[in-house]
Amino acid sequence: MVDLIKRAKELIESSSVKVVIGYEQGTGNKTRALFVENSEDADKLIFDSRCIQNLAAYITKKEIKEKGKMAVAATLPVMRSIIQLASEFQVTDANILVLGITPESKLIEFGNLAEVEKFVHQYEIEIDVRNKEMLDKLEKMTQPERWQFWIDELAPCFKCYACRAACPMCYCSRCTVDFNQPQWIPVPSTELGNLEWHIMRAIHLTGRCIDCDACYNACPLSIPINLLTKRMLLDAKEHFGGYQPALKGEHLMSTYKPDDKENFIQ
Amino acid sequence: MSKIGVFVCHCGENISATVDCAKVAETAGNWDGVTFSVDYKYMCSDPGQSLIKNAITEKGLTGVVVASCSPRMHEPTFRKACAEAGLNPFMCEMANLREHCSWVHEKGEATTEKAIDLVRILVEKVKYNHELTSIKVPVTKTALVIGGGIAGIQASLDIANTGHKVILIEKDPSIGGHMSQLSETFPTLDCSQCILTPRMVEVAQHPNITLYTYAELESLEGFIGNFKAKIRKKSKSIDEKLCTGCAQCTTKCPVKKIPSEFNEGLGKRTAIYVPFPQAVPNKPVIDRKNCTYYIKGKCKVCEIVCPTGAIRFDQEDQIVEVEIGAIVIATGFTVKQPDFFPEYGYGKHADVITGLQFERLASASGPTLGEIRRPSDGKVPEKIVFLACAGSRDPAKGIPYCSKICCMYIAKHAMLYQHKVHGGKSYVFYMDIRAGGKQYEEFVRRAIEDDGVNYIRGRVSKIYEKNGKLIVSGVDTLLNAMPVEIEADMVVLATAGVANEGAEELAQKLHISYDPYKFFAEAHPKLKPVETNTAGIFLAGACQAPRDIPESVAMASGAAVKVAGLFSKDELTREPIIAVVNRQAPPVYSSCVGCFLCVSACPYQAIEKEEIKNRNGEVIKSVAKVNPGLCQGCGTCVAFCRTKSIDIQGYTHEQMYTEVMALLNEY
């Protein structure tokens, strides 16, 4: 990614942005987020197929926002996240510059978020074959079987909240689980408590999740929690007619439309 | 420490017959925080209320739980009693032991246990209640009446005569509605237009009524006393100020063969038209779908002949914004058309017509000038058959209800036919004769006994054409189900009265509920027949269910009184059960993260953005803020808020959680 390094240097040297968020080589065979604040650091920037962490999770962080305008090396999922965040008033043209990386690994610099939106809309959000098969398998189970599947899958979860930290949509300064007057979702990791936390997370992400799998990738136990959000994505599509993040979006779940199907409450 | 009083009501025997009220009171008396607990025969009676008041003053109660009927019934009573004894009325809660327990369960220990649970929930909740004060909002003393039929006309006149302003909107070019189409009215046979048109003129001339015809409701915002409505005035393509109603244009218009809506398709009209001679306002509109100029780009005959130059081809729809305090919906109904009935030929026999079409044939202002002539060849029918319940009371057709007006108008139709066609024979196929109403039964007897109408109790299975006659094939159930065949010249179907097309969309615009048949729902079937579940919106006439003229008028006057009652005060008091977004000390200011999903979720547009600024005027944070005037306390935003930053006063997260835990925990 010579282009990216060059552009990052220019941006930092000209003070157009204060920080460029990208990827660098981590420990082992992993990559990690890099925050470029001086032009020497820009040389550490890399981009390859291992760079799957959703960098949009950083742009709502107070510590990053305080630095000033930022540039983000954004893959398609990251761009989608940025558009969704913009529609939720968390980021504006004034504080972000998107250095898009196309699915063909080409660098495109976008002038504003409207251009990002236009680019993003060329691609439908689609669930990959492997996960689709898994969802179908779950669908075919009886209700008790499915219940047991999730009880078993979620049993080892010890609520490290890595999924929450990795998710760009989990930017709330006070998460529902941190709300303790009253404590609706219990803090200890218990069978039912784990289920409550993950169901709550999936519901809060319905109509907002752009299916980047960051939560699953971050999970130290590789619990397939992304199946929950994927299921919600499909359900939302079925009941409310598809989802594509949009700057002036009518939010899928909060906007009432007369032609919304209401077949789930009959 | 809470000092809570529990007051268990027997409601005569309504509760005590299945619930051991004394045991409920005794158990509650042992709970933490309960300082006083008692049961009594009628808590809502004067001595019952005194019991509560005395306990508040003597025991210094900080919260009250009345375990009795539904809060819908007596919450205001008990809150008032608490307020009179010096306790904030919102520190009073009601446990519904009647509807939720005693009425729905058998006598037994489990029933009493459930009653104890219900009280327990509220005792725990009331510990977290906060003192609240009512909200006062101003009232805009203008009413909007939607629909200019007889119900809308009556409601408008009644409201206007109390001295308040009325805006009446009608979607057609003239007011008058279905009543203006009728020939005579039952049970007196007086001419419909003769009694209606003076009212129509009165509407037009009333100083308090603003009339918008050819206009529809575009959108509605706000709440009781403070609605904002947008009205779409559809373009009439004429300048109403210049038009004198001279009718030059309507006589000269070359497009003359459009089926007339007013004559139910039996007559023709021109593209620029006045629906009927007595129309109010008596000024034409151009029907753009059929006008040659709008289709082909030339003609303009009307513009040439207009002596005042009032034609405006380029006129556009106009949106008028009005502020109103109350709404009366009087949008009426419609009837099913013959094409709904496969057994009667799907509307392909020209001489199988609807009751409303028969009205036009019998009317002196109709296409035949009041002579009964059949549409196909203009012959006077020698034999005529009337079918009651065409569609109505037929679950297979999806209309299980009785359309109510048909039995009476069929008797009227048959009578009019006998009066006009001497020697003619008329038959009525009916299921039951429903003539409940003042002088209604007498009217039907007159048709049968004096005018010789043949009533046959039975249904018709099919109608088909043979040798120029319509063969009506039915059964007489009073003659042991003997098949009957009548060779008729004309058949009149009393087709079911159904909700107007677009009723559902209108209900959604107004946020009111409707029944499975799309008729608008009243707030209570007996005690609140003209109210809707949305405060400040009332119903009149056949938009609520099929209604005859006297009922529509009575309902309209009822709705008008409700509006006048609302307008009798300058301010409305509203319950403080509204949503509030939390505020905290700096640097947090609020746990709200400003995603504003609540803004799109709010059905009342009650949530706005608030920018929190520092001393230099820089925005530190954007957070949601609820407008207390607009919020209806529905709680949708609460459910949407991921950070749990919104609470409904009186139903906070803490209170809800406590209620649930009270049920789950052992005590």
Domain ranges (residues) in chain B: 4-126, 135-234+317-332+521-571, 236-314, 335-498, 579-648
* Nearest chain A residue to B654, by CA: A182
pLDDT tens-digit map of B344-403: 988 899 999 999 999 999 999 999 999 999 999 999 999 999 999 999 999 999 999 999
What per-residue confidence (pLDDT) applies to B374?
A: 93
**pLDDT single digits (tens) B27-72:** 999 999 999 999 999 999 999 999 999 999 999 999 999 999 999 8
In this structure, how many other beta carbons lie within 10 angstroms of the beta carbon of residue B632?
20
Q: What is the pLDDT of residue A250?
A: 76
**Can you read off the two tokens belonging to residue B238?**
């004429």
- Per the prediction, chain B carries an average pLDDT of 94
User: To which H or E segment does residue A233 belong?
Assistant: helix A226-240
Sole residue written with tokens 């024979």 = B425
From the options 3.40.50.720, 3.30.70.3270, 2.170.270.10, 3.40.430.10, give the CATH code of B579-648.
Answer: 3.30.70.3270
Contact criterion met (CB below 8 Å) for B233 and B320? yes
Is B335-498 the same fold as B135-234+317-332+521-571? yes
Torsion sign, CA atoms B37, B41, B46, B47: negative
Cβ contacts of B505 on chain A, cutoff 8 Å: 258
Q: Are B190 and B439 in contact (CB under 8 A)?
A: no
Question: In the CATH scheme, what is the code of domain B4-126?
Answer: 3.40.50
CATH for the stretch B135-234+317-332+521-571: 3.50.50.60
**Per-residue confidence (pLDDT) for residue A63, from 0 to 100:** 92
Q: What are the residues whose beta carbons fall under 8 Å from the beta carbon of B14, sequence distance 6 or more?
A: B69, B98, B102, B103
Contact criterion met (CB < 8 Å) for A182 and B645: no
pLDDT tens string B427-454 = 999 999 999 999 999 999 999 999 999 9
Cβ atoms within 10 Å, residue B231: 20
CA distance B9 to A34: 69
The whole-angstrom separation of Cα A96 and Cα A154 is: 37
Q: Provide the token pair at A236.
A: 């939302």
Q: DSSP string of A77-108?
A: HHHHHHHHHHHTTS--GGGEEEEEE-TTS-EE
Nearest-10 Cα torsion for B391, B395, B398, B402: 50
Task: With beta carbons under 8 A apart, name residues in chain B contacting A204.
Answer: 642
Interface probe for B, chosen from A59, A88, A174, A199 (most Cβ of B below 10 Å), is A174
B118-153 pLDDT, tens digit per residue, is 999 999 999 999 999 998 889 999 999 999 999 999
Q: Which H/E stretch holds residue B144?
A: strand B142-146
Asked if A172 and B643 come within 8 Å (Cβ–Cβ), the reply is yes
On the question of pLDDT at B585 being above 90, the answer is no
Do the chains contact at B598 and A254, CB–CB below 8 Å?
yes
pLDDT at A199 over 90: yes
- Put simply, whether B442 touches A (Cβ < 8 Å) is no
| pLDDT for position A265 | 67
The CA distance from B145 to B209, in Å, is 10
For chains A and B, CB pairs below 8 A equal 59
B601: chain A residues, CB-CB within 8 Å: 251, 254-255
pLDDT of residue A258: 65
CA B165 to chain centre: 21
Q: Which of the four pLDDT bands, split at 50, 70 and 90, describes residue B667? A: low
Contact between B7 and B66 under an 8 Å Cβ cutoff? The reply is yes
d(CA B235, CA B316): 5
Please provide residue B383's backbone torsions phi and psi, each rounded to the nearest 5 degrees: -130, 130
pLDDT, tens digit, for every residue of B550-560?
999 999 999 99
pLDDT in tens, B216-271: 999 998 888 999 999 999 999 999 999 999 999 999 999 999 999 999 999 999 99
Nearest residue of B to residue A172, measured between CA atoms: B593
Pairing label, strands A107-109, A96-101: antiparallel
- Residue B614, both tokens: 């520092």
Kindly give the pairing relationship between strand B142-146 and strand B165-170: parallel
User: CA of A206 to nearest chain B CA: how many angstroms apart?
Assistant: 11
Question: By CA distance, what is B604's nearest residue in A?
Answer: A256
Q: How many CB atoms lie within 10 A of CB B210?
A: 17
- For residue range B470-483, list pLDDT tens digits in order: 999 999 999 999 99
CB pair distance less than 8 Å for B594 and A89: yes
**What residues form DSSP beta bridges with B609?**
B624
Interval B73-98 mean pLDDT: 96
Q: Residue B309 region, left (φ>0) first, then alpha (ψ -120 to 50), else beta?
A: left
pTM higher than 0.95, yes or no? no
Position B230, amino acid:
K
**If you search the block for the tokens 């939302």, which residue do you land on?**
A236
- Kindly determine whether residue A89 and residue B622, on different chains, have CB atoms separated by under 8 Å: yes
Q: Which residues of A touch B642 (CB under 8 A)?
A: 172, 175-176, 204
Which of A174, A184, A256 is the closest to B657 by Cβ?
A184
What's the rounded mean pLDDT across residues A236-264?
78
ipTM, two decimals, is 0.91
Crossing angle of helices B46-59 and B71-84, rounded to 10°: 50
**Domain B335-498 CATH assignment equals 3.40.50.300:** no
In chain B, positions 133-192, which contact chain A (CB-CB < 8 Å)? none
Distance of alpha carbon B63 from alpha carbon B60, whole angstroms: 9
Pick from B588, B597, B603: which is nearest to A251 by CB? Answer: B597
